Amino acid sequence: MLSKAGLYARIAGYMFVIIGEELSYIFSKAAVRLRARLFGSIDPAQRDRTIVIVGASFAGHHVARLVAGQLSPQSRYRVVVIEPNSHFQFTWVLPRFCVVKGHEEKAFIPYGRYASSLPGVLEWIQDRVVSIDKTHVRLAKGLDPIQYDYLVLATGSGVKTGLPSRVNATEKSAGVELIRDVQRGIETAKTVVVVGGGAAGMEVATDAKDLYPDKNIILVHSRPAVMHRFGKRLQDEAMQALKRLGVEVILEDRVVDEDPAAKKVTLRSGREISCDYFVSPSLTPSSFSLALSEIWRCSSRPRHHQVNCTGQAPCSQVLASVSPNSISPNGYIKVKPTLQVADEELSHVYACGDVADTETPCPNARSALRQATTVARNVLRAVDGKEPKYEYRSHWADTFIKLTLGLDRSTTFMGDGHKDLMFRAKEKNITLMVKQTWARLGQTPYEDKYDGKEGEEVKLE
């Protein structure tokens, strides 16, 4: 077992590599711009080869940034991003903003400045890909299929019933309203049942009890411990926080029926719980991944009495008709270490992020960004006629999670079941890392004229 010093050294090495990659991108992009200024760029009309990126959350957005920013001024390639959402939807703050009012607009960050490029290199289409074949992608709204030379699938994962895990609305204004619906549901309820003791369920339950100590908040989880995908130390820490706040925890049981009219849910054990707001289960990941994303992603609103905190399912359906064998039984896209899809006839198709089967123990934004870097580097080699050579390996530090345990504290944990590190912290800012994320994406917090309103940063007393 590695000592603590060894683990810190691994984190330092991990950070060093990430910073090195970012600096390399900054220099490379500056060199591209300088070459364009000195020697000119190809006419955009002559960029007749296409790299299509499907999905622009952590993984796809980062691939777009790295590839579009580094394509040679003389390259015949262009990048086309296809993403149904009007804004980058920042998942990390959704559980918090489903409880705490007044910040919901901040979870939707405008696209635009993060992935910048020479004129004519990057095209953005707000639409959904419904299917692909070996040469084209078909869009939900777009009439003409788009031909591609290289394709990156970064379609991530989702949940059928949406918040607090996913928004399931493409427009910011609709998403903001959905979050407000959940806030109102919790605010006006006397008893709230939260289903799912993973990160989203934990955060909603602890925030709700912290903000509204007089409400009954009941967390139902099917496993013997909350945060069961993480190490024992984090599980114990989470359980202590629930006890400290007074959240009632029911383990090894699940909700099998809900009756909004009678205001009650029934558990598998037969126990009935009266509640006026239900943070509910969804379809299981395996059955759910077979459902067409169109049906639920574009569905108008979840049932008003529900909030879902249970597991997410990979959105791999677009690959189903062209390469069904590349989809694992639990719905992930099978990939080679280079992150090319594991199908010899699709060596020009890559997958990264939550949708890819990379054997990452706890997939998260960090692993999605690292995979995006691997894909971008391989695509940039491929457009230069070289074989992809960069490989993605999951790293121990990818398991990093920062879990809020009430409004003013959090625990950061890294661990793979054998070796772990854990830190407790006081949280001063109720909006967590949203301001920094706006800045990281090149936006001025919180300038966004989507409907003429802007949010404000609020500190905890």
Ligand X SMILES: Cc1cc2nc3c(=O)[nH]c(=O)nc-3n(C[C@H](O)[C@H](O)[C@H](O)COP(=O)(O)OP(=O)(O)OC[C@H]3O[C@@H](n4cnc5c(N)ncnc54)[C@H](O)[C@@H]3O)c2cc1C
Residues that bind ligand X (CB under 6 A): 54-60, 82-85, 91-92, 94-95, 128-129, 154-157, 165, 199-200, 293, 315, 318, 353-354, 363-366, 368, 402
122 vs 315, which CB is nearer to ligand X?
315
CB of 156 to ligand X, least distance (A): 2
CB of 33 to ligand X, least distance (A): 27
Cβ–Cβ under 8 Å, residues 162 and 168: yes
Both tokens of residue 310?
């249970």
Q: How far apart are CA 96 and CA 210, in angstroms?
A: 11
Q: How far apart are CA 403 and CA 414, in angstroms?
A: 11
194 vs 267, which CB is nearer to ligand X?
194
131 vs 266, which CB is nearer to ligand X?
131
CB of 90 to ligand X, least distance (A): 8
70 vs 85, which CB is nearer to ligand X?
85
Name the CA radius of gyration of the chain, rounded: 22
Where in 236-281 does DSSP place strands (E)?
248-251, 255-259, 264-267, 272-274, 277-279
**Cβ neighbours for 193, distance < 8 A, ≥ 6 positions apart:** 218, 220, 255, 265, 273, 275, 277, 278, 279, 280
Whole-number Cα distances in Å, 401 to 226, 229, 234, 237? 14, 11, 10, 13
296 vs 446, which CB is nearer to ligand X?
296
- The residue assigned the tokens 């390996």 is 393
267 vs 369, which CB is nearer to ligand X?
369
Let me know the angle formed at the C-alpha of 402 by 239 and 249, rounded to the nearest 5 degrees.
Answer: 20
Q: How far apart are CA 108 and CA 167, in angstroms?
A: 10
| Neighbour-count burial for 100-119, b at 16+ CB within 10 Å, e otherwise | beebbbbbbbbbeebbebbe
- The residue assigned the tokens 């020697």 is 39
Cβ–Cβ under 8 Å, residues 71 and 117: yes
315 vs 430, which CB is nearer to ligand X?
315
180 vs 402, which CB is nearer to ligand X?
402
CB of 336 to ligand X, least distance (A): 18
CB of 58 to ligand X, least distance (A): 4
CB of 72 to ligand X, least distance (A): 26
Both tokens of residue 296?
């639920």
